[in-house]
Each structure stands twice: as structure tokens, then as C-alpha cells.
Amino acid sequence: MENGGYEVPENANEHCPGPQSESAGKSDACEGCPNQQICATAPKGPDPDLAAITERMATVKHKILVLSGKGGVGKSTFSAQLSFALAAMDFQVGLLDIDICGPSIPKMLGLEGQEIHQSNLGWSPVYVESNLGVMSIGFMLPHPDEAVIWRGPRKNGIIKQFLKDVYWGEIDFLVVDAPPGTSDEHISIVQFLQATGIDGAIIVTTPQQVSLIDVRKEVSFCKKVGLQVLGVVENMSGFCQPLSGFRFMSVTETGEQKDMTDWVITSMQEKCPEMLNLIAFSEVFDSSAGGGVKMCMDMGVPFLGKVPLDPQLCKAAEEGRSCFDDSKCLISAPALKTIIEKLLSQLEVSRIEEGA
């Protein structure tokens, strides 16, 4: 639907002035519209910097946003490991962290303490490997404990600067790690990149309803702004760990704990050694309502897969390394690999095609 030359959302009020109109979100016709806040805060009219952004992004083949409705679901961990995996497949990869107030990507890529350098081509990403570059406001802070207390316009400004001033060169993938929610940063990144062609968004959730309620809003946001949902990843989908990796405790009636690990391990070794090769599983979050699978069916979006809560994956993220480099993440790494292969298949991307 169009109004005054502007594309109007299907769920807009009858006399919608259009989301790009100067009166968007502010006119009487906007009262009660579900899109009012988004329209009121979005930049209006043609942006002179869009041409510069389009020129920069012309060397980027695929652009993927990683979103989450709620914080703490492992979105940045997924973004980091996705980037590590793509780079290990010999793709040229860029990882852009637009979580302005909580930039955790430098930590998860092992790049703490690094700084941005400038050349005649623009800002240079910080490189993990020759084919994996990273850009984050975390590299610009004078101290890692420094708080970023910025309002929307200033956040939008730094995102725009990242897009038009960072020189990625010829790359296959740009993975954009966004903050949780549907705020200014999300509106800006979609608007700035829309003309350059965004492949879509991956949405990360955990299985319980408290997370899924917000993820449904994230899916709705994507539909409103015309951003394809490439799929949903259910993270922390049950706690998994080899039985030999657990500590065992006995608890008295007064709550006193006693470590019984040595006794338990010795007993298993003597009486049933094959038990030590088993993987123990426990459901941490309530998924009785169907989890991410049911939500995807209800909302008509793809489900990419589940990643268990694996202490070894958590450790890899803390140490800033890939979970695919060794056999320590024997539970989470195969799950992530399956999801990434499904994503590449959906994008119709192969190593041969990209290397051609």
C-alpha cells in the first residue's frame, strides 16, 4: 500500500502519512498505530550518506544480521562462532558489532586491547586471521570498563560511520551482531543496508516462553521492515556434558555440601566404566510449550536447529577462540556446524562457488 509515494505497512492506520514522511509517527493519524514509535524515531527523507554506504557494501557479497528479542540468549556467541566457521571454510569474513552499549565481540574473538587503524582507504578492521576482520566500538573505548551512555542519534551516527568508513575489501560475508530488542540500532542498520541488499536475519532464542515472547516481536519487526528471517536458532537447548565432566555432591539436611566426585568416578570406573563415556542431558529451561520449533511453525519462519548449553562452548567464548579448532566442544560444535551448513544451503552458497 502506498500513500504520497511512500510504502505503507499493511497494519498501519487508515490515513498513514508514510514511514518516510516528516510527520511519520507524529501526526494525529499515527495515534494508536503499532508502528508509531518505529516511524517517529526512524531517519526521514533521502540520506546523503546512503550513496557512500552503497559504494562500500558493493564489495560485500552476503550480509547477515544476527538478532535476538532478549539479551543473554547467546546471540554474540553465535555471531562469533558463525564467523569463525565461515572463515575456516576459506570464506573472506567481516564481523561488525553494532551492540554499542555492550560490545562483547572483541572478547569473544580474542581481540581485547586492540585498536582501530586508519588508512587512505578508511578504517581498517582488526584481524583475527587474514580472512576474518572485526569492527566494534569496543576497540574505541579508552578503558574496557568505560560505559557508553549515548542516545539514539549518536548510536545511529556511529553505525553509519562503521558502514561508510570501514574498508572491508572484497569479502564473502558480513555478519552483523546487533543488540537485543527492536530499537534505534535495528531500524538504522536495516535502513542503511536495505538499498545494498541484505540476505536476511538469523534470530537467536532460548527455549522458554520468557524468551520466545520477545523473539516473536523480533520476527514481527523483521516482517514490518521487509527483512527476511533466514531462520531461528534455539540456543542453550538443554545442558549437555560428558558424565565424567560433572562434580557430584551430597547435601545434608542442614544444607551442608560434601564433594563426592572422586568416590563416584572411582565407583563407575570399577563397576561400570562404560558410563563414563555417556553424555548427560538436563533440560535447563522449560520447553513444554514447544520451544523455538513451535514458534517457527506458528509464525511461518524457518527453524535452523538447536545448540545445547555446553560448558566447553562457554569456555571457548571466554577465551576468544573457535569451538571448531579442537575436539573439546564435542557436543556444541557439531550442532553449530549443522546449522551453518543449513544456512549456506538456504543461501545457495558453496565454497566452490564463492572461490570461483
Q: Model confidence over 81-129: pLDDT tens digits? A: 999 999 999 999 999 999 999 899 999 999 999 999 998 999 999 999 9
Q: How confident is the model over 272-282, as a mean pLDDT?
A: 91
Question: Would you list the DSSP string of 254-267?
Answer: T--EEE-HHHHHHH
Q: Does the structure show a pLDDT above 80 at 306?
A: yes
Query: Which domains occur in the chain, in start order?
Result: 16-45 (no CATH), 49-237+299-347 (3.40.50.300), 240-282 (no CATH)
> Could you say which DSSP state residue 20 is in?
T
pLDDT digit string, tens, across residues 120-161: 999 999 999 999 999 999 999 888 788 888 887 888 899 999
pLDDT above 90 covers a percentage of the chain that reads 69
Would you list which residues are annotated within the binding site for ATP? 69-76
Amino acid 124 reads S
For residue 9, the model assigns a pLDDT of: 65
Would you list which residues are annotated within the binding site? 16, 30, 33, 39, 69-76
The H or E element containing residue 250 is strand 249-251
Whole-prediction pTM value? 0.84
> Could you say which DSSP state residue 278 is in?
P
For residue 43, the model assigns a pLDDT of: 63
pLDDT-derived band at 44, boundaries 50, 70, 90: low
The H or E element containing residue 153 is helix 152-165
pLDDT-derived band at 286, boundaries 50, 70, 90: confident
Rounded to whole angstroms, the Cα distance separating 16 from 2 reads: 9
Would you list which residues are annotated within the binding site for [4Fe-4S] cluster? 16, 30, 33, 39
